[in-house]
Structure 1
Amino acid sequence: MGAYRTVMVGTDGSESSLAAVERAARLAADCAAELVIACAYLPMRGHELAAAQDQLKAEAYQVVGSAPAEATLRVAADRARAQGAGAIRTVAVEDEPVAALARTAREVSADLLVVGNRGLRSLAGRILGSVPADIARKAPLDVLIVHTT
């Protein structure tokens, strides 16, 4: 198999997921591949949104639509650039993480999907499922689970 052409990584803004972004960026740089950074989000609605807007006042834009995901993606792209990644694309996807990552990987023709291992060994992860385990089972492409915790 040749080098990867499109490396995709998922992030939620946690330090664990940003460690996965950095590893994916180094790998993309080594392969001269495009790096796609994806962030899944589910916007607040109804009472939850009203309460947040009441508390945040002028900063309420941060909880509407994809604003939190966009901020996460800016940080992730900066971290990726610092690791030598060249071509970087960011994508905010409204959906649950596993579905968002699998769908986006297909849409961008990724040939490698990178995720961190957070949740893989936790009790909740074993009972409810975890993003890395579910992605490894469901994704129709190579998956790299990076040790980030």
Structure 2
Amino acid sequence: MTTPNPANLSIGPASIVTCHIDITLSDGSAAESTRVHNKPARITMGDSSVSPAFEAQLLGKVAGDKLNFTLAPEDAYGQPNPDNIYYLDRSKFSSDSPAEVGMIIGFTMPDGSELPGLIREVAGQSVTVDFNHPLAGQTLTFQLEILEVQ
């Protein structure tokens, strides 16, 4: 019996995929890239960490493949959810992390995890914090280079 050659292993429903991902907005500007710090992404197929539409693009691909595809907001990071926008009192912010429009601040959740929030508006003592993913609502183009398939 021969052992399968990992270089020829194609991506299936339970594969672990290591890849570089470059994401661009519909205007062509760069949104995100794993190449910036040379830290490839690791995707476990079927664990819901990426959308079914994203996974569908990977199925059958092998290490060395390069692909380019565009996803609508619903198939990428979804549409912004108004329930993810909160209004907090300015006193909740410290001098170490002041409430300034455009800043992304990590908020500690009850379970101890941290959730990033984008400061959208500061009006008097009210601070508007958006916990939607920054790329929610965007049509995105993904360029992937598959480095390894397990």
Q: TM-score range by the shorter chain?
A: under 0.3
Please say which structure displays the higher CA radius of gyration.
Answer: 2
Q: TM (normalized to structure 2)?
A: 0.23
Q: Which one has a larger percent strand, Structure 1 or Structure 2?
A: 2
**Higher RCO structure (Cα 8 Å, ≥6 apart):** 2
